[in-house]
Structure 1
């Protein structure tokens, strides 16, 4: 009986596929539960840049990187404005002319929410990419 239970625990272990996806899901779940802050680990540069885009538009408050001499942690202050966020996988290539159909597909309306792209000029939202006339790969969205 105990051996079967231990084999079950080995089977149920969580496999981390995408750290960005895990981070956004934990933020979304904490927001829906009414939490004021959430801790995200592990941390990566992509997650930090994605959070800075969200912070620039006011969807989250301050966030702080905590170095634990491993992969690091981020503590994010939530302000109750985030309705939905997610990752687009696989990361599709998007040209400047193709940004508009992606916004129509992913966002609830034209003036509400942002798509985050990774471009040759860095990680930015779709409006900034359109202003700079650069395309890239779709990372995710938030509104």
Structure 2
């Protein structure tokens, strides 16, 4: 079964690990969108270094947390619509 949003899953995992007081967190699966988002977070000082691990599948990312992350998440609006609205 595929995941609906890899970015939302990664951000939820990051926020949960930060809330639990962890120093490192393993994000899987990885994607180019998640890597670019982590680079922006690192540039602004919310996370420390991160390392990409190639497992010949979807990949993993190990992120070092620095305690500056308060809350993060993806905004995924879902609206009811019918076929005529397309």
TM-score, L = length of structure 1: 0.52
Q: After TM superposition, which residue ranges in structure 1, 4 or more long, deviate above 3 angstroms?
A: none
- 1:105 aligns with none
Q: How do residues 7-26 of structure 1 correspond to structure 2 at under 5 angstroms?
A: 16-26=3-13
Of Structure 1 and Structure 2, which has the larger fraction of its residues in strand? 1
Aligned pair count reads 77
Report the RMSD for the aligned CA atoms in angstroms: 1.3
In structure 1, list runs of 5 or more residues that go unmatched.
1-13, 91-143
* Larger Rg computed on CA atoms: 1
Q: What is the DSSP-based 3-state SS (H/G/I as helix, E as strand, rest coil) of the residue aligned with 1:87? A: coil
- 2:47 aligns with 60
In structure 2, list runs of 5 or more residues that go unmatched.
78-86
1:116-139, Cα deviation, whole Å (9 max, x unpaired) = xxxxxxxxxxxxxxxxxxxxxxxx
Of Structure 1 and Structure 2, which has the larger fraction of its residues in helix? 1
TM-score, L = length of structure 2: 0.85
